[in-house]
């Protein structure tokens, strides 16, 4: 009894490499909630273009390229929504990702690290306002504070984040990490 050769389908490739795509997505973008979007969009892009792929070849490099492109695209869109100081940081990280993936990963790690160093309240303000898109008026009502006090608190957290990232990058450069 001879076995028939197994012809992989696009969906079977995605099932097989599902964890790999998620792992790449989480490494390619600084925020876990954006990594989910990157992975999902990569799956959609892959399925939309199944006629272009040679499914007999190992798809790892193709999936890696697709994840990186999607991450850059989502990151560029997200950076446009940030205030100017965070846009500059985001564009710097994006430029580093485009030039040298190793350096870019170190810069993303610095950004993640600085976000984690923020006090819980400050991190929540930044995440809810810039990544969940919640307006300051709504957050002020929820926190029972004035709109101005919430905006000022967000600005102070932005400045802490900017300073932390600058210091982290300078320290890495000084110690030969970059």
Q: Which residues contact 94 (CB under 8 A, 6 or more apart)?
A: 72, 75, 76, 79
In this structure, are residues 74 and 40 in contact, taking their beta carbons and an 8 Å threshold? Answer: no
CATH of domain 83-178: 1.10.10.10
Segments making up each domain of the chain, as ranges: 1-80, 83-178
The DSSP call for residue 50 is G
Q: What are the tens digits of pLDDT across the range 128-168?
A: 887 777 888 899 999 999 988 888 888 888 888 878 877 88
Q: What are the tens digits of pLDDT across the range 76-106?
A: 777 666 666 565 666 666 665 555 445 556 6
Instruction: Compute the distance between CA of residue 153 and CA of residue 60 in angstroms, rounded to an integer.
Output: 44
Instruction: Compute the distance between CA of residue 146 and CA of residue 140 in angstroms, rounded to an integer.
Output: 6
CATH of domain 1-80: 1.10.1740.10
Q: How many helices (H) and strands (E) does the chain have?
A: 9, 0
Q: What is the dihedral of CA 155, 158, 164, 169, to 10 degrees?
A: -130
pLDDT of residue 144: 93
Structure tokens at 146: 């004035």
The DSSP call for residue 57 is S
């Amino acid at each position: 009894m001879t076995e028939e050769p197994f012809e992989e389908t696009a969906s079977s490739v995605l099932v097989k490499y599902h964890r790999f795509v998620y792992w790449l997505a989480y490494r390619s973008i600084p925020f876990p909630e954006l990594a989910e979007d990157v992975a999902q969009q990569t799956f959609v892009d892959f399925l939309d273009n199944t006629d272009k792929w040679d499914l007999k070849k190992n798809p790892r490099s193709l999936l890696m390229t697709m994840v990186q492109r999607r991450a850059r695209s989502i990151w560029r869109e997200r950076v446009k929504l940030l205030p100017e100081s965070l846009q500059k940081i985001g564009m710097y990280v994006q430029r580093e990702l485009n030039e040298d993936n190793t350096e870019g990963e170190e810069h993303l790690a610095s950004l993640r690290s600085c976000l984690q160093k923020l006090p819980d309240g400050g991190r929540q303000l930044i995440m809810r306002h810039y990544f969940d898109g919640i307006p300051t008026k709504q957050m002020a009502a929820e926190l029972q504070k004035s709109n101005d006090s919430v905006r000022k608190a967000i600005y102070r957290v932005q400045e802490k984040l900017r300073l932390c990232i600058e210091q982290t990058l300078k320290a890495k450069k000084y110690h030969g990490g970059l």
